[in-house]
Amino acid sequence: MLWEVDVHLRQNDAATQEIIAAANDLGLKIHTLHTATAWLIEGDMSLTEVQKLGACLFTDPVTEVCRVARVGDKELITKPPGSSEANNLILHVLPKPGVTDPAAESAKEAMSLLGIRATAVRSVKKYWLPADCITPKQAEETAWKLLASEAIHEVVIGALELTKLSGGDAWKLHRKQVPLNGLSDSDLEELSRRQCLALTANELHAVRDHFNTLDRDPFEIELETIAQTWSEHCCHKTLGSPIDHSGPDGDFCYDNLLKETVFASTEVIRKQLGEEDWCVSVFRDNSGVVRFDGDHDICVKVETHNHPSAIEPYGGAATGLGGVIRDVLGTGHGAKPLANLDVFCVAPLETPPATIPPGIIPPKRLLHGVVGGVRDYGNRMGIPTIAGAVAFHPGYLGNPLVFCGTVGLMPRDSANGRVEPGDLVITAGGRTGRDGIHGATFSSIELSSESESKSGGSVQIGHAIHEKTLTDFVLAASEENLFNAITDCGAGGLSSAVGEMGAELGANVDLEKVPLKYDGLSATEAWISEAQERMVLAVAPSQWPRLSEIAQQEGVEATPIGTFTGSGQLVLRWNGELVGELNCHFLHEGRPRQRLQSLFKPPQNTPPRWSLENTTFQTVLLELLQSEDIASKEWIIRQYDHEVQGKSVLKPLLGPMGGPADATVIRGVLGRPRGILIGIGLRHHLGPIQPYEMAVGGIVEAIANCVASGADPEQIALLDNFCWGDCRRPESLGTLVEACRGCYEAAVALRAPFVSGKDSLNNVFTWKDDAGITQEQSIPPTLLATAIGQINDVSLCVSSDFKKSSNRIAVIGVSKTELGGSQLSVIRRVTGGDVPKVNFEECQKVFRSIHRLNQQRLLASCHDLSDGGLGVALAEMAIGGGLGATVDLAKIPLHDLTEIMKHDDLMSLLRVAFTESTGRFLIEVHEDDTTAVESTLGNIPWSWIGHVTNDNVLTICCGKGSIVSQTSVPTLANAWRKQSNSQTSGTN
């Protein structure tokens, strides 16, 4: 029997109003809309029982009413209760069969509390539209634009005609061999494309040769396992390649680019640190581990989830976050997630719809979707999302970037897990379905305008509460030392997780034991599915009974599916029958490496061209404050629970008026003083101009964030996330090599080791234009640098908001005319000019001085200068504190003494106020501390430039008495908050 319970709101909510507004934006003049949540319930139960469910489980008597009937009953599609609109068009949006439906799963479990059992439940959104305003065709189009995602939903107009929910019969064993002999290279490439393997012809040659030595063709499941293991996503295919590079600083040959740049910097620093080395486990485990306090280490990982988010923003971002949380949970013997960060790179929100190629989700809908995904997953997990950024560039239109990161805490010296022969292979957490098949290989190929319809299976939907209970289970088991090793089931599913854990020992796996969400999955599907919220543990047989007991207590399913053997073979069986067998050595070491060519020619440096007619200093300052990169992200920040776990010390918005923070800070342990800081550096506008300086600038910015807020510059760990276009092209690869060189130089010079990283290449979008010509767009080369700092005592943390009038303001560090890629050049659409170049030695001196001032408690506030330079930083400090300031630009220490400013030369004023030279800070100091500050700063370049005022006005002068601009702080704040305040509508 299939029942339906419709729950109607007595009054329309905000979401309904937003849909009406969004439909009107699309030119669809609907004036009313009624929505309901419907629950489809399959099971052997009476009408009275379903009515009881309606009243006791599904409906709030104060705000809702419900209607109950069999699916298909006319009553369910008559006019909604309380509505006068008789002539309705009804639209249903429901998850496709097999797509995770968390609310329905919870509902099914909850029914048993009332003693009613259902065999299946599905949740549906229902919409009543006025039939006189809209045709069924328009309704369906609107549904796809606003209410549903092709990757995961079905849309039904009119009555639902379902008779059952559960489906699928158990898979019957059949083994499929894939002959590779006799195929030409183009045949092999076609095979790879057709099966979404993302293997090159060269790699398939190696596979063929290997199986020829075994005298047979590979089975499909073997080929799939190899494809997952050899995917760019799983093994740094490009970054680990031998590369011949030619660039402006000479020719370099690398045998393994990543090892010789990013990894090498860490090795150099660790050697220098010697006994004092505070790195614990780097580039090995699922996240990087460093020392924290006497009892704990901390670990950190940042991942990307770009392609799934491009197709299904909400689900893609949520599962991106879910994945990185499991990376931390799956480090060593399990770490407790403490904080999340997220960074999004998208096209400008007001990109004209006419210029958006087919198959691309408009940036505004995309951004609202990814924010919603992080919000719903992170908030439900009870992990505060405390840091982040949103960066805008037209190049991200087809390939938005979604970075998610997690910091975790683990007992000291628990970083190394080790699988023992005889250990059981245990899967724990969610069940396996068809969701997310081919995610790892999908992320390694280009997106196209047809990806949305073709790759739907690659999109996973998250179930945060499954992950929360899984986390509770893993941490409880870890406390009792019940497993030898753990890893998450992410890209590549079980094939990657078991494959990696058994890389040396080998394993026997009985695939029919994998718990399935529904029948019908083949052995291959069960093996490579990327269904979310699963972990794999290696457990000694003697520990299994206790582990199983804890799993039951926490309501988590844990199942033995095999054994780690020591045979060096990965043996896959289905009910005892062999379905595949792979040699682990071949699987992990057999991938042929290809020498790549790389070329970098820096663009010709042209002097910048400006058009400054009809503008003023104040206009430019306000334009910068409301520009997309700089503007307040409050509308996002406040949707994230950034205070859960109670460890918050410096939040993303600070001071009485909520100005922007530099680093955000949490305590590591409740009630203890030691803190963790997160800084983020992203100089994406430099990517297309000078990738080396983009990398260096981003790293310096991330560290500067931490130092400004109080971190010890001698203990900062870095993470790299490279997102690039098509690196098969030497010119693209050239920019990647330059960025890697930058990473090495910056890390070594600033003694900040990289501890973890990830790359996402092939961020290229192809489509056919109106003339039928294939077009493609690559993202700008983008390196996200994340810095993790530490502070002994969080009571020494300093925020960036002005504290008190009459306090003095100083700028530390030297300013040069470096406007290439600056925010000023972005808003004024200027090309050319020098990009900021970092002087590492000076930069380090500045970091140390700031830290000394902090340790002596001489800083009332401190802010690092980044996007928009000194002018924007001043405004932000004023906004946060709700206080004004008067500063004199003529007092700023300049690099080039020929740069003499005149108060009537707007260009020279703008250059000094908005240059983005790196390694500079603004500090606020109490009058009484003047002498102490002066003696601490000594001979590094710095200068007093003004003081805080209580008139709520930011006054910029150039030379004594000559005022350049005067702007009230509320005016500055309004400009900074303008975009955030307008982001009230948007559907996710």
Residues that bind other proteins (CB under 8 A): 10, 13-15, 18, 56-58, 60-63, 102-103, 105-107, 109-110, 113-114, 375, 379-382, 463-465, 468-469, 553-555, 637-651, 653-656, 658, 670-671, 794-795, 797-799, 801, 803-804, 860-861, 984
Interatomic CA distance for residues 827 and 622, integer angstroms: 11
User: Is the CB of 654 or the CB of 699 nearer to other proteins?
Assistant: 654
Of 434, 428, 461, the residue nearest 529 (C-alpha):
434
Residue position matching structure tokens 């994945």 = 323
555: Cβ contacts below 8 Å, ≥ 6 apart: 469
* Environment class of 961 (CB within 10 Å of its CB; exposed 0-12, middle 13-18, buried 19+): exposed
> Measured from the CB of residue 47, what is the shortest distance to other proteins in angstroms?
20
Q: Given the DSSP bridges, would you call strands 2-9 and 577-583 parallel, antiparallel or unpaired?
A: unpaired
Within 167-219, where are the H helices?
Answer: 185-194, 201-213
CB closer to other proteins, 107 vs 528? 107
Question: Which C-beta is closer to other proteins: that of 15 or that of 907?
Answer: 15
Q: Pull the structure tokens for residue 611.
A: 């058009």
Sign of dihedral through CA atoms 497, 501, 504, 505? negative
The answer to whether 676 and 711 have CB atoms below 8 angstroms apart is: no
> Are 162 and 40 within 8 A, CB to CB?
yes
Please, which residue, 246 or 639, has the CB nearer to other proteins? 639
One-letter amino acid at 936 equals T
Closest to other proteins by CB, 848 vs 926, is 926
- For other proteins, the closer of residues 209 and 643 by Cβ is 643
Q: For residue 967, give both structure tokens.
A: 């702007």
> Smaller CB distance to other proteins: residue 15 or 578?
15
Tokens of 240: 């680990």
In which element (H, E) is residue 986 found?
A: none
Q: Smallest distance from the beta carbon of 428 to other proteins, in angstroms?
A: 15
CB of 925 to other proteins, least distance (A): 11
Between CA 376 and CA 89 the distance in angstroms is 31
CB of 659 to other proteins, least distance (A): 10
Residue number, 62 or 771, with CB nearest to other proteins: 62
CA distances from 347 to 356, 685, 721 (A): 10, 13, 19
User: Shortest approach of other proteins to residue 843 CB, angstroms?
Assistant: 25
Give me the least distance between CB of 91 and other proteins, in Å please: 20
Q: Name the token pair of 3.
A: 């029942």
The C-alpha atoms of residue 901 and residue 878 are separated, in whole angstroms, by 24
- Cα angle 976-919-402, degrees, rounded to a multiple of 5: 55
Q: Chain-centre distance of CA 756, in angstroms?
A: 15
Residue that is written with structure tokens 């053997």 in the block: 565
Rounded (5°) CA angle 489-494-498: 95
Indicate the residue type of 196: C
CB nearer other proteins, residue 490 or residue 881: 881
In the complex, the smallest distance separating the C-beta of residue 860 from other proteins, rounded to whole angstroms, is: 5
Tell me how far, at minimum, the Cβ of 81 lies from other proteins, in Å: 14
**Smallest gap from residue 963 Cβ to other proteins (A):** 28
Cβ at position 63, least distance to other proteins in Å: 5
Sequence-distant (≥ 6) Cβ neighbours of residue 570 within 8 angstroms: 225, 498, 499, 502, 506, 507, 509, 580, 581, 582, 583, 584, 587
> Could you tell me the sign of the dihedral formed by the alpha carbons of 734, 775, 198, 723, in that order?
positive
Residue 179 vs 656, nearer CB to other proteins: 656
Closest approach of other proteins to the CB of residue 490, in Å: 21
Distance CA 221, CA 494 (A): 12
CB of 432 to other proteins, least distance (A): 20
Nearer to other proteins, 10 or 284 (CB): 10
- C-alpha triplet 8, 13, 17: angle, nearest 5°: 120
- Residue 896 C-beta: closest distance to other proteins, Å: 35
Compute φ and ψ for 96, nearest 5 degrees. Answer: -60, 155
For other proteins, give the closer residue by CB, 211 or 473: 473
Whose Cβ is closer to other proteins: residue 537's or residue 858's? Answer: 858
Task: State both tokens at 910.
Answer: 């703008």
CA–CA dist 108, 517 (Å, integer) = 14
Tokens of 446: 């280009």
Q: Which residue number, 110 or 159, has a Cβ lying nearer to other proteins?
A: 110
Which residue type sits at 749? Answer: A
Residue 946 CB, nearest approach to other proteins (Å)? 18
Q: How far apart are CA 587 and CA 585, in angstroms?
A: 5
Nearer to other proteins, 584 or 649 (CB): 649
Q: Give CA–CA dist 668/295, Å, rounded.
A: 11
Min dist CB 66 to other proteins, Å, is 12
